[in-house]
Amino acid sequence: MNLPDPQAIANAWMSQMSDPSQWQSWFNLAPSTEANPLAAMMQEVGASVKPEAMETLKNQYLQDFGQLWQDVLAGKAPSVSDRRFTSPAWQGNPMSTFNAASYLLNARFLNAMVDTVETTPQQKQKIRFAVQQIIDAMSPANFLATNPEAQQKLIETKGESLTKGLANMLADMNKGHISLSDESAFEVGRNLATTPGSVVFENELFQLIQYAPLTPTVHQRPLLMVPPCINKFYILDLQPENSLVRYAVEQGNTVFLISWRNPDKSMTGTSWDDYVQDGVIEAINVTQEISGQQQLNMLGFCVGGTLVSTALAVLAARDQHPAASLTLLTTFLDFADTGVLSVFVDETQVALREQQFRDGGLMPGRDLASTFSSLRPNDLVWNYVQSNYLKGNEPPAFDLLYWNSDSTNLPGPMFCWYLRNTYLENKLKTGKLKVAGEAVDLTAIQAPVFIYGSREDHIVPWTSAFESINILNPGKAKANRFVLGASGHIAGVINSAAKNKRSYWVNDAVPARGSKRQDAEQWLAGATEVPGSWWPQWADFLATHGGKDVKAKAKPGNARYQPIEAAPGRYVKAKAD
């Protein structure tokens, strides 16, 4: 199903916001028109609704809108609690308050219409997602003509805010993305990714960074970190006070980390097998040789967790078991429930991508960034349209949002393999896949696991992250550990122990096997909420599996692997085309 273009229906939406008679076509689900994209979507997927349900909705809508209009005529201000419309500029202007209230009413009934649709759960989720995109795009806060805050600033600045807003918009058009942060405030290697270290190995896929010790003694077994290749690694090493890398080094770990190359035209044929064999497995081999340890603690974040788990399964098929422990942060191994991301993945869309990349190519980073921004459009798109363009503000300096805009490409063949075999067909956990010439059996990974999920994660639902407990290290469940953190996919992970914000949930009891959701919900029902960062829990887990303490080595690398350049290295600084 194609998602509608919100701008194509903007004019119709704006006229309907304050005129209930214009909604007749929506409730009748008339043939596809620009004014009725819901009908178009339903027509495309063959969905239907019960006429009596739609008639009930229509009557309720007209009743509620009539009451809203009567209140306005009587001088009674509508109650608007949505944070987009709570400023004095909105609350003090009767017409603006009415526009906001009618918009919220229309939005509520649009979502109610979706609830009446009779179709498959996946198609219904796609319709709901597309309708929500329209709703968010058509907020009166997004238009100068209906945003009293922007109008007020226009008057106060004598037009300067509009001039600055247009300049901001043109600058962003040249950059190819909306500015979420003051990008001049940050530079990788200057005030981001500053944990001291050296690049000790590189190939066409990645650089391997070895970080300098910050303690006189270290755990005997090093820690190898595998970040996602869909983003740049420095989300794990932002600034010293919120760097997971630095924290791990401060806890006495010798940390090695993969810095993935930002793919260019030379990598258009690179496959998932290459990322596993020439990426993760090669990094394991080099780390073993430099450290002199055959067993390593390993960590994978998001897609990096899927990669490192696949690599360990490939090595297990070769009768090699290099992991003393495995940490997975917000990672899919079971793709049965991929949450809202499933709206982008079906047979038609994957087949189109496979056709697009049949001879190789690159998936542009800007397209990937747009997809992820669409999952939270009010926070990552419209908030900045209002602030940067309508009001002429400059975005504040925010390291995490700077990283969010620093996108990476992906090789087309690797991207297509990943979509089909994981998101679409969920083959990774079945034992039916071959990677790097070996059958992938995740149950063959013989290492205790620390699994982290974020409770509000919109990319990896925490219940899906939890399911890895039932896949890895079978028969030794008591050695595994699951921790659930507050907040989302990124903010939940980067919950600095120094700032000690938010909270997390722990439960050492192993739930009885049932359905995935029952297991996860059973675990949560018996869990205890603990204030602060989950990082110390993870540090204790690493120390348990780190071996004895030994004197820290002063020099990075060894005779074979000499330092190439200082961390963070040049790969992470390359920009996506």
Find residue 223's DSSP bridge partners: 255, 297
Q: What are phi and psi of 443, to 5 degrees?
A: -70, -10
Burial per residue of 96-110, b for 16 or more beta-carbon CB atoms within 10 angstroms, e otherwise = bbbbbbbbbbbbebb
* Nearest Cα residue to 222 out of 567, 570, 553, 560: 553
Residue 328 three-state SS: strand
Residues 6+ apart with CB under 8 A from 189: 568, 573
* Token pair 């003051």 in the structure block, residue: 182
* 302 annotated active-site: yes
What is the rounded distance in angstroms from the CA atom of residue 402 to the CA atom of residue 368?
16
- Count Cβ neighbours within 10 Å for each residue of 266-277 and write b for 16 or more, e otherwise: ebbebbbbbbbb
Whether the bond into 448 is cis, omega within 30 of 0: no
Task: Print burial letters for 130-162: b (CB count within 10 Å at least 16), e (below 16).
Answer: bbbbbbbbbbbbbbeebbbbbbbbbeeeeeebb
Q: Please list, residue by residue across 327-358, b when 16 or more beta carbons sit within 10 angstroms of its beta carbon and e when fewer do.
A: bbbbbbbbbeebbbbbbbbeeeebeebbeebe
Question: What angle, rounded to 10 degrees, do the helices at 160-175 and 148-156 form?
Answer: 120
Any idea how long the chain is? 577
Strands 549-551 and 217-219: antiparallel
The answer to whether residues 387 and 401 touch, using CB atoms and an 8 Å cutoff, is: no
DSSP structural state of residue 265: G
CA angle 403, 502, 449 (to 5 degrees): 75
Beta bridge partners of 257: 209, 225
Per the CB < 8 A criterion, the answer to whether 452 and 327 are in contact is yes
Tokens of 90: 């909105």
Q: Give the orientation angle of helix 37-45 with respect to helix 94-116, to 10 degrees.
A: 10
Give CA separation, 471 vs 91, 309, 329, in Å. Answer: 53, 11, 15
- Looking at the DSSP assignment, which residues form a beta bridge with residue 323? 296
297 within 8 A of 546, measured Cβ to Cβ: yes
Q: Catalytic: which of 281, 302, 333, 401?
A: 302
Residues identified as active-site:
302
